[in-house]
Amino acid sequence: MASDIKAEEDTNLTTFNERTLELEEIGPDTFLSVDLWQPRGNRGVFGGQVVGQALSAAGKTVDSPFRCNSLHCYFLAAGKNSDQIAYEVRRIRQGKSYCTRLVVAKQNGRVIFIATVSFQRCEASALRHQYVMPKVPEPETLISREEYLRRQGQRINNAEIDEAKIAEYGALPVETRIVPQKDEDGLPVNAIWMRAKGDMSGLGHMHHQSMLAYASDFALIGTSTRPYQKKAGYDMEMLVSLDHTIWFHEPFRADEWLLYVMESPRAAGGRALATGRIYNRDGVMVASTAQEGVLRGKGLTAQTLQFASSVSHTSAKL
């Protein structure tokens, strides 16, 4: 009986997972969103969902030997969940090893998002290197984002907890675990474990890539705010994504735990840059990300905070 209930739950979660990225074909290489999520308090729909749906749309115009190796996106205007988004795919190039698609997303005839998507025919190579995955606690030992928000509410608001916000995160198709960070220096670094809910074993690689594209927008540009969160008098006015880039390096399953390591190397001119590395549990870096966003705040004296990088010099002659 318990196994039957668990199987039914997995089926429901998988259906919800698919609906998040579901598209309706309405014409040649043109697709319409079915579901859109606009987080409470946000100016528009969740950018990660637009990225995931755009990748899914592009993938529907590519033959199976090709897999997405990268996508470069620009958020041009906020989308609303009151109207569907139309994704128009243009076949820019079809080569033997690579092909390229341009995706233009429109809402009520207005262009709100564009993406260039590159696909590669799988290729073996002896030239391989990567950064080692950081040593962090296993996801099973860490608290969920929902529990983190609940504890944060108790700590900051004297037990005044935003249950609606917690329920909203709990209803998402991706679950996350917060990796604790040392906050005393305000380092612009962050890490989370994440995985899609439900069983995706019956879905193709394109759905796994699209779901990771969706999840990769969680917490990335927010990493840029960490140096200022505990500064007295700081008041954040705006944090909005301008663009989003993903490079896929290796096959993976989006419904298995993936470690998302993020850092923000620079903020200036009202903009912030954040980069990310995504690893599977075997320590293989399966994807990389980068994002720039609008970062505006008040209450602080203008200064450039300095953080050490991991690169060191040598006295040896070159």
Q: Single out the catalytic residue among 33, 217, 255, 264.
A: 217
Q: Single out the catalytic residue among 107, 216, 241, 288.
A: 241
- State yes or no: pLDDT of 164 exceeds 90: no
* Dist CA 78 CA 111 (whole Å): 10
- Return the bridge partners of 263, or none: 189, 275
Tens digits of residue pLDDT in 238-269: 899 999 999 999 999 999 999 999 999 999 99
- 18: which residues sit within 8 A by CB, 6+ positions away? 203, 207
Does 291 participate in catalysis according to the annotation? yes
List C-alpha distances in Å: 203 to 35, 175, 241, 254. Answer: 19, 19, 29, 10
* Dist CA 123 CA 140 (whole Å): 35
Q: What's the residue count for the chain?
A: 318
User: First and final CA of the chain: distance in angstroms?
Assistant: 69
- 271: which residues sit within 8 A by CB, 6+ positions away? 242, 292, 293, 294, 295
Residue 318 DSSP one-character state: -
DSSP string, 170-201: HTSSEEEEEPP---TT--SEEEEEEEESS--T
Confidence band for 302, pLDDT divided at 50, 70 and 90: confident
If one counts every other C-beta atom within 10 angstroms of the C-beta of residue 18, the result is 17
* Dist CA 180 CA 178 (whole Å): 6
- State yes or no: pLDDT of 272 exceeds 60: yes
- State yes or no: pLDDT of 317 exceeds 80: no
What is the percent of the chain where pLDDT is above 70? 88
Confidence band for 309, pLDDT divided at 50, 70 and 90: confident
List C-alpha distances in Å: 65 to 20, 118, 121. Answer: 25, 13, 6
Q: What is the pLDDT of residue 162?
A: 75
Domain 2-122+138-298 has CATH 2.40.160.210: yes
If one counts every other C-beta atom within 10 angstroms of the C-beta of residue 232, the result is 6
Does 306 participate in catalysis according to the annotation? no
* Dist CA 203 CA 108 (whole Å): 31
Domain-wise residue ranges, the chain? 2-122+138-298
Q: Which two tokens stand for residue 101?
A: 């698609």
* Dist CA 156 CA 133 (whole Å): 33
- State yes or no: pLDDT of 11 exceeds 60: no
Does 56 participate in catalysis according to the annotation? no
Q: Single out the catalytic residue among 209, 216, 264, 291.
A: 291
* Dist CA 203 CA 150 (whole Å): 34
Under DSSP, is residue 11 helix (H, G, I), strand (E, B) or coil?
Answer: helix
Run of H or E residues at 4: helix 2-21
Q: Which two tokens stand for residue 224?
A: 């840029």
